[in-house]
A and B are shown apart, each in its own frame.
Chain A
Amino acid sequence: MTNFIFLDVTLGLVFVYLLLALMCTTVNEGIAGALKRRSKTLEVGIRGMLDGPGTTGGMTAQFYGHPLVRALAEEGKRPSYIPARTFAQVLTDLVAKPAAGGGSVQEVLEKVTKLGDGPLKRSLETILQGTSGSAKLEEVQGRMENWYNDAMDRVSGWYKRGSAGWVAVVAVAVTLATNADTMQIAQTLWTSPTLRAAIVEQAKARTEKPLTVEYTNPESPEPSPPYETGVEMGKLTAEEEKLLGQLMGWGDEFRKFNRMVAEEKAGDQGKRCLAECKTAAAANDQCTADVVAGKKKEDSLACTCREVLKKIEQAGESESIPGRAFFQYCSLAGSWIWGLLSQHLLGWLLTAIAVSLGAPFWFDMLKKIVNLRAAGKAPEKDEKKKVPQGATT
């Protein structure tokens, strides 16, 4: 039984990492879009092919000024994706300017030899080596497409490496914003069978989602490779959001701080009440007893403490974000932050590292654990109850 609890807690953690990683993906895509990182990286790659790194103007400027390339993006913007076919067509046009009807390969080969010395001339001479003048123009363009595709593989690598820093920063930000402490989440899951069961159900539902194909680039409507909708970017269901809310968040921490502020505001009287009566309910009981015993309310410490402790307890129930109080009570804020760090730092660190591994990694892991869990189920006690093989489809 304990083995299953351990497996379910692990599954729960993996599921939480997946959901947080999906949130990170959404944020990262937003940042990449705002900073135009895709289009900029693409331009660096194309400049490296046509004019060499670090140059300005040149063939690259002509390439981006070509109507076929301009049509791939909004006016004044650079495309974030250029199909290989468009690249080859535009390059042929820029290098050889073939006459209407397509021109000949001979024409292209001659024009290449007349190009100024530079990376483009060297590259084209290399990739067109062995092409005869009688070959079809499509063959030449096919070779250019292959050259472009190889270069784009490298550009994708640059983009991924360039994104790594952002991924880590966003992972830390998401971890802190949600107060996702691995240790605390594991503890909550270990002690709550209801939450464990709910999270196992949600995890199973996510891994059973079907394959889909999407068109992510409107400038070049080509479908993406098929992917499982369980790893769909940023799509958290309402149930998943609710589960995350039960496992993490700042509510408890804000309650602690708000209570600390209320205790501070109550001053010495508050400290005395807490020491003598501990809770408002206990103070109320004592107050009633004092009145029954003939004591005046004004003379009863318990009766005074009842109101003081009620205020402290009400503040301790409030999840409101500490605003001005945070700055008014700097020393309290300091000890609160110190308490947070000592309690959560390790858990946050583990979460941030895990989340930065990315959604696809955790989705694969989740599928493996769900399968393992299914395979590990206790066998049917009565073999006779088994459904005949093949009858279930």
Chain B
Amino acid sequence: MKLTMRRTGAALLIALLAAPVGARGGSVVLKKAWVEKYKNRATIEVKFTIDHSHKKPNRVKDDGDDGDLHMSGRAPKAGLPIVAEIVNAAEASQKNALLFVQANEGKEAGVTMKGVWRLWFEHPSSKEQKQFDPVPKPTDTNPKHVFEVHPVTGIGPNDILKSFVPIEGFTAYNAQTAFPYYEKIPVTVQSTSSAVTLISPQSRYNYAEFVIELAGPPHKREDGYMVMAIVRDAEGAMVVDGLRRMVFVEGTKAANAVKDKKKGYRMRVLGIPRVNLEALAVLARTAGPNGKKAKLPYEMIIVGHFPEV
């Protein structure tokens, strides 16, 4: 009896210690075919049912409010609980897009939406989310999710590429805070013949401001440019050992500014992190079903650039 109690006690203690980790982290199962399709793409185009939308954009304040407009919904092509965000939503140029969102909120037929796909464990669910399993209808604008379309580049007839500029009045995380954090995010990768599972703790630091120095020429992709870059802080100090992939969306000011540039060119940018699916695919090759611990591979979506370095 005493032994059973001891064992139960030990198990309870371990469960209690493990519980907060589990509660803060999440697990998502992606189809390998989907990973292959999107690993070198900047964006995704989906039919999106807008279930809930903010009535007006977030304020822009130093406390983390970033001026985005959030909407939640379902998109069969993504196959996961999804939140979409329009950046710089309060700008006059986004007015038609916002009216369009409001007009289509709750309409089951859905709308065509294009934007940057983003996988990030910012609001993970305690339950495993499996791609292409039935996605429940969300009950608010911010359901538990790891998949986003963020930033949105177009919705319905509205092209909102002009929203890809630094957010006026918003202070992003500086490079010295954000990147060392990104570099240390752990992930366990499990792989089967058709799917790859990521288990990772909740992640932070959505927007970071940093300087990139091109390590090579920008590479043209179907819907943008990808460039390998050295990451520096505002003072020019390197903050990451090695190179990180930067994703520029075709037609944005930042993409137009970078596409002809060569090695050594520096630009100060605003970016948000997402899982690097190309590197994930490589990790998955050696992970196996039992899983391997790894550093979460990430890349930066460049939302805007500043005129001076």
Contact = CB atoms under 8 A, between A and B. Distances in A.
Interface of A: 71-72, 74-75, 210-226, 229, 235, 384, 387-388, 391-393
Given A75-B262, A218-B228, A213 B10 contact: no
A226 B282 contact: yes
A71 B217 contact: yes
A230 B6 CA distance: 38
Given A71-B217, A226-B294, A215 B10 contact: no
A223 B285 CA distance: 12
A218 B294 contact: no
A211 B10 CA distance: 31
A221 B242 CA distance: 13
A75 B216 CA distance: 11
- Interchain residue pairs A-B with the least CB separation, the first 10: A218-B216, A218-B215, A218-B228, A211-B294, A213-B279, A210-B293, A212-B295, A223-B279, A219-B216, A223-B282
Interface in B1-52: 3, 6-7, 10-11, 14-15, 18
A150 to B, nearest CB: 21
Contacts of B77: none
Contacts of A215: 228, 242-245, 279
B297 interface: yes
Nearest to A79: B216
Given A212-B294, A218-B228, A223 B7 contact: no
B156 interface: no
Interface of chain B: mostly helix, strand, loop or mixed:
mixed
Contacts of B215: 218
18 contacts: A72-B217, A75-B262, A210-B186, A212-B297, A213-B297, A214-B242, A216-B243, A217-B228, A218-B243, A218-B263, A221-B219, A221-B245, A223-B278, A223-B282, A226-B285, A384-B3, A388-B11, A393-B18
Given A211-B286, A213-B282, A391 B11 contact: yes
A384 B6 contact: yes
A387 B245 contact: no
B152 to A, nearest CB: 26
Given A215-B243, A218-B228, A388 B7 contact: yes
Contacts of A226: 282-283, 285-286, 292, 294
A229 B7 CA distance: 37
Interface string B194-238: 000000000000000000001111010000001110000000000
A213 B283 contact: yes
Contacts of B297: 212-213, 223
Given A214-B242, A223-B276, A388-B11, 4 more contacts: A211-B294, A218-B228, A221-B245, A226-B285
B226 A221 contact: yes
A388 B228 contact: no
A285 B226 CA distance: 77
B241 interface: yes
Interface in B254-309: 262-263, 276, 278-279, 282-283, 285-286, 292-295, 297
A70 to B, nearest CB: 10
